[in-house]
Each structure stands twice: as C-alpha cells, then as structure tokens.
A and B are shown apart, each in its own frame.
Chain A
Amino acid sequence: MWPYLKFGLPVLVLAALIVLFARGLFLNPTVVSSPLIGKPQPGFSLPRLEGDGQEPFTQTEWQGQVALVNFWGSWCVACRDEHPVLMQFAAEHAVPLYGLDYKDERAVAEDMLSKQGNPYSDIAFDASGDVAINWGVYGAPETFLLDRHGVIRYKYIGPLTPELIRNDLLPRIRSLEGER
C-alpha cells in the first residue's frame, strides 16, 4: 500500500492543482454577480436626457412590460463599441430598451446619439451617478432585464454582442414574456 501511496499521492495532488488552476484561468474575476437579481428594481426619479425636462423619468416608465435597462455613458469606450449592437437590436426587436446615461455631459451624449442613432425608447440622465450606485452598477455598460413586475431577473456586465443577444438574452426575454 505504502509504495503506491508514496508515488500516487503527489501525482494526485498535482492533478488536483492543475484542474484547480486551469479552472481559475478561465474564470473572469471582473464579473461580480449582483445580489439584486430576483429583487425589485431600486426606484428613482431623474430628468430625461432629451425632451422638455418637465416630467421626471421614473421606473414606472416600463411598468407592466418586460424591459431592458442599459446603463451607459458617452465617456465609456465599451458603450460606444456596444452602441451599433443596440441599434441593431432596437431595429429588429420590439422589446423596450431604456437608457440610463450616467456621469455624463448632456451635450456630448446628445451629440453621440445624433451622429450614431438612438436605440433607446427613452433615456434617464443621472448626472451624479447615484442611481447607478443604487443599482449596483460598477462598470458600464451594464444591462438589466426586468420582468413585468419590475423585478430584476438578469444582468449582463460588459458590452452586449449579437451572439449573446441571440443565445442568451432573447431566450430569457421570451420566457419572461410568457410569464403572467
């Protein structure tokens, strides 16, 4: 027994470590799962990026609908990369997509949308970034999927891609739309 163990044990330990470290290599440590998933959306009241500035933008905007809320900013390079993907999504699908522009400058954001198009149904403007913190946002862009009752069901951190929308986001949206 002992001679087997003497040579077998180090090999086993080494194999276990290789598996452990290999797994570690393929994890993405920058994605932190949100504790807000399954919780009601945090409420807010913000001005709109566009419009007359009369009526505040609140979460009641998408009440009763399965909706996507995209936190972005014109300062965020990854958001600019994501922008054409959102444009395509808005053109192809009837799912309401709302924008939450945070820590931005109005003029720059408006300029970006006028040049590259506006994929959003409407955009809230969070100058201080307080609403973003309240939603647990730490790295733009972040996209939240809300069910009809305003419960956060899913969140994606980072720019959405056409593959991700097709393989992950759309099936989730369809299943939520099937819920009562």
Chain B
Amino acid sequence: MSRLLRAFTAVFLLAASVPVFGIDSQPPFPDAAEQARYEVLIHVFRCLVCQNETIADSDADLAADLRRQVHVMVAAGKSDAEIRSYLVDRYGNFVLYKPPVETSTWLLWGGPFLLLFAGLVVVVTVVKRRARMDETPPGDET
C-alpha cells in the first residue's frame, strides 16, 4: 500500500468515526415507543444557556434538567403538545429549536424566497437586455 493511499485511508477513517457523546444520563424507558418519543422531543427544544444546541446535544446543567423534565412528563403520559406548551409557557418560543411561523419570524422564513425572487428579477432583466442587443444587426454596431 502506497504512502498516499495509507494517508487517505487514515483521513477517511477519522472522518467516518463519529465521536460518542455520553451526554444524556436519563435511564431508558422500558417502552420503545416512549423512548422514541423522548428522543424526538429532546431534539425539538433549545438549550437556553448554549443557544445553538438542542437539549439533546447540550452538556449544560440546564439542558440536563430540561431533559429530566421531558423524561418525567413522557413517563407521566403527557402528550407531545402538552410537553411543548409546558416549555413554551415558561421559556417562550425561543425554546423551540425550529422557530414557528409568526409575525416576528416571517422575514426569517420568507427571506430566502425574497432573495430568490430578487435573483430572478435580475436574471430576467439581464437576459432581456442581452436579447435586445442580439437583435441589433451586426452592421449597426459602432
């Protein structure tokens, strides 16, 4: 095996190995469906201390406490909507990792489409102008 190939293999193996995070210390649910629900829910809520992480990914104390709350509520048979509103009532919509569409977030959700539209306008104008240039006979060009 050539040196280069060995180096590439090493890089590939390093890139493919996912670091193992042992963050969540909540005991697993006996019921697989509840466990799945819990796993989904902890990826829905934002940790307010390290704001760019969900409570599933965050190692902060608050995230651990919020995971515990979610765990308790799932075990108590609360619905997803009830758990969601429990946290939103206390921490506001900011606790939702995916912000809901409302008046204060329309620019966030609509912005990409606005930019796309602006781009389209530019493309159409440029194409039209070029088409007009092509129409003029070669002899007319000065």
A residues near B (Cβ < 8 Å) are 29-30, 32-36, 103, 129-130, 133-136, 138-139
Contact = CB atoms under 8 A, between A and B. Distances in A.
Contact of B48 (A35, A36, A103, A138): A138
B91 A129 contact: no
A35 B65 contact: no
A35 B49 contact: no
Nearest to B52: A29
Most buried by B among A30, A32, A34: A32
B88 A35 contact: yes
A33 B92 contact: yes
Contacts of A129: 65
B9 interface: no
Contacts of B65: 103, 129, 133
Contacts of B105: none
Contact of A35 (B51, B69, B91): B91
B94 A133 contact: no
Contacts of A34: 90-92
B51 A29 contact: yes
6 smallest CB-CB distances across A and B, nearest first, come from A136-B90, A138-B48, A35-B92, A32-B94, A129-B65, A136-B91
Nearest to B94: A32
Given A35-B89, A134-B90, 9 more contacts: A32-B91, A35-B92, A36-B89, A103-B65, A133-B69, A135-B90, A136-B91, A138-B91, A139-B49
Contacts of B48: 32, 138-139
B51 A133 contact: no
B44 interface: no
B130 to A, nearest CB: 16
Contacts of B83: none
Contacts of B49: 138-139
Interface string B28-67: 0000000000000000000011010000000001100110
